[in-house]
Amino acid sequence: MLMGLKLGQSLDLTELSREQDQFMIEIQWKSNDIKRKGLLSFLHLNTQECRYATTVLLLEEGEKLRDKRNKIALDNLRHPTQCIRHMGDQITQSGYQDEQIFIKLSNIPDNIQYFNFVLHPYHLKKGKLPTAVPEDVWLRVVHTKTQEEILKIPLLQHYAQTNPITLFQLIHDHTHWKLNILLQSMQSEQYGL
């Protein structure tokens, strides 16, 4: 198991992908209520209760989303090829939001080169602020068959923006697999999040 991956670093999964066709990617975080006091309390009028969710964008060359079926989210849990399955949103006993996403490498279409894992407010109305933000965000990668933990790292301590954030990216160039830690904020309109 590798523990020390940080922003800008990558993990080569090529050798592991030859041994194992299926992986489980788990993302966990806690929701922290935002407390606005004093003059900022008026902002409460402009808030909306919403949860955060993970969406996986299956992108083609040039990081283009050419088919809406390539956006795997809570309202579209499976890709038609069965290369990726999102298991929905769960809450652990310790109060973490937990999302498990299963990837079957042999089912991935040839035109897909990137898997972007994006954490974002789910159905937040334009101009509204969320009442809670994610903190203590963790990533875990597990061999599905052997249950061996390949990677477990903290990604983010606190995220106070309403913009989606690309946590990490899987890159596939037909012979190699690589996982890059990105932590890049993006515009919600970019992929219709």
Query: 70-100: per-residue pLDDT in tens?
Result: 999 999 999 999 999 999 989 888 889 999 9
Residues with Cβ within 8 Å of 32's Cβ and at least 6 positions away in sequence, in order, are 132, 133, 134, 135, 158
Has residue 5 been placed in a domain? Answer: no
| Residue 1 in domain | no
Evaluate whether 108 touches 94 at the Cβ level (below 8 Å): no
Query: Per residue in 31-72, pLDDT tens?
Result: 887 665 555 444 445 666 677 899 999 999 999 999 999 999
CATH number for the domain spanning 67: value is 2.60.60.30
Binned at pLDDT 50, 70 and 90, residue 1 comes out as very low
- Asked if residue 191 belongs to a domain, the reply is no
Listed residue (191, 188, 190) closest to 52, CA to CA: 188
Residue 173, domain extent = 10-185
